[in-house]
Amino acid sequence: MTPLARHGDPIAAIATAPGRGAVGIVRVSGQGLAAFASALLGRELAARQVHYLPFPDARGEAIDRGLALWFPAPHSYTGEDVLELQAHGGPVVLQLLLSRCLEVAQGVLPRLRLAEPGEFTERAFLNDKLDLAQAEAVADLIDASTETAARSAARSLSGAFSTEVHVLRDALVHLRMLVEATLDFPEEEIDFLRKADARGQLSKLQEQVAAVLRQARQGALLREGITVVIAGQPNVGKSSLLNALAGAELAIVTPIAGTTRDMVRQTIQIEGVPLHVIDTAGLRESADEVERMGIARAWQQIRQADALLFLHDLTRRGDAGYERAEAQLAAELGQGPGRATRVIDVWNKADAAPEGVVGSGTAGVVLSARTGQGLAELRRALLQAVGWQAAPEGVFIARERHLQALQALRQHLRQALKWLDAPEPALDLLAEELRLGQQALGAITGEFTADDLLGTIFSRFCIGK
């Protein structure tokens, strides 16, 4: 993270992605940039108006002609003075403009320096233009891999998630006020908590937290996506299933066992949820060193998967060797009475299976990767396995740290209810649980956030953001 002492430095950066483009932007932010802007462009700029003009170099010759926009503080993205130069998007042109900014600054703005990753958005947060959840939504919107994820990130950026957090905070603060009043004025012998229905308020707050947590879990799925591993014996149709789900020939398909020796990855989407699908090597004993390495990697991916498609071959049902290997794999994958809910049995080659094979003992999804039969049912089963519900427009993007904060708040509220319901209510411990709950909640929007966490968050942004 940028040291606090450097937050007062003016900063500059190329704010558009590397490479060629129609338009590129150089952005400068800091306090007192008016003199610098005039020295750089040779004229004063009207606030929040677009100016078409040349961008001169040290000899007065135009580096390029483009648009200049001037945003005096505090009416800017960062809350500081901001100058934006929009030029043609060639990397050389933008580097020349950035170098010219640093050159001019030597005389009128000597502390101007290159921005660090995420520093523009970090300043927006520090200057109360965005809270921390909104600042994170900026990066999530840029990184969104589906339309649903982008819309949800936009909702978080507009403050939808923060509004939910503030509603919880206000209810929690009111409850703390009642408890603190009871602790501060015991001689009044007024049961503030009973008359104010503190227990009812606490129970209602728990319900509200549970509702926000459910929404946040959906948002986290949109942001992170779901890692799905396709596993099974050789030649059960794993690569064909990956191709069918992706709608493209991504993996080589042959009747030769061991064709897939390493992982093949593809990201698809179902109902706007990103699915990172991984086709793995067939699971079997092998003397081939390369294939053994692929199988070892397959098991590593299986252990880390959010959902596992255990693929079976209907055309080989009844074959003694195949069934023995299936039973062994089922045991290793955690099948049986204590099976993990994340494992979905998929019975492939329904189009080629003998009559009567599909029936008892085929619990799961029956499909044909070749014809597409059963793919819609498989997609629904995948979303159900990871807890996805049809996303209403109200879903907002969320991160794992948001889920952890909400879960911590829920745990503190549970403990607070225990202290309140004790035969002799321990109000001081009740008050402490409520305080800790508010602190956990405040970490979402940045009201109670360690500096090292801020550094981790903003360091993952791109330079110009």
Mind listing the pLDDT tens digit for each residue in 378-406? Answer: 988 888 887 787 655 568 889 999 999 99
Known binding residue 152? Answer is no
Minimum mean pLDDT among 65-79, 414-428, 448-462: which range?
448-462
CATH code 3.40.50.300 region(s) in the chain: 227-305+307-385
Mind listing the pLDDT tens digit for each residue in 424-459? Answer: 888 889 989 999 999 999 999 988 766 666 777 777
For residues 213-236, one letter each, b for 16 or more C-beta atoms within 10 angstroms of the residue's C-beta and e for the rest, the string is: bebbbbbbbbbbbbbbbbbbbbbb
Q: Span 125-137, mean pLDDT? A: 93
Q: What is the rounded distance in angstroms from the CA atom of residue 107 to the CA atom of residue 140?
A: 38
Q: Is the pLDDT of residue 129 over 90?
A: yes
Known binding residue 195? Answer is no
For tokens 């939504």, name the residue: 137
Known binding residue 27? Answer is yes
Please state the length of the chain.
Answer: 465
pLDDT at 190: 47
CA nearest to 119, candidates 37, 9, 38? 9
Are 452 and 1 in contact by the 8 Å Cβ rule? The answer is yes
Give the residue, 99 or 396, on which the prediction is more confident: 99
Write the CATH number of the domain with boundaries 4-130.
3.30.1360.120
Architecture of the domain defined by 227-305+307-385: 3-Layer(aba) Sandwich (3.40)
Task: Read off the pTM.
Answer: 0.78
Known binding residue 191? Answer is no
Are 133 and 161 in contact by the 8 Å Cβ rule? The answer is yes
Q: What is the rounded distance in angstroms from the CA atom of residue 315 to the CA atom of residue 236?
A: 9
CATH code 3.30.1360.120 region(s) in the chain: 4-130
Mind listing the pLDDT tens digit for each residue in 261-291? Answer: 456 788 888 888 888 888 876 665 665 666 6
Q: What is the rounded distance in angstroms from the CA atom of residue 309 to the CA atom of residue 312?
A: 9
Q: Is the pLDDT of residue 260 over 50?
A: no
Round the average pLDDT of the chain to a whole number and report it.
84
CATH code 1.20.120.430 region(s) in the chain: 141-220+397-446
Known binding residue 465? Answer is yes
Architecture of the domain defined by 141-220+397-446: Up-down Bundle (1.20)
Q: What is the rounded distance in angstroms from the CA atom of residue 132 to the CA atom of residue 31?
A: 22
Known binding residue 204? Answer is no
Known binding residue 414? Answer is no
Structural tokens at position 106 = 């030597």
Structural tokens at position 58 = 């040290």
Known binding residue 129? Answer is yes
Known binding residue 240? Answer is yes
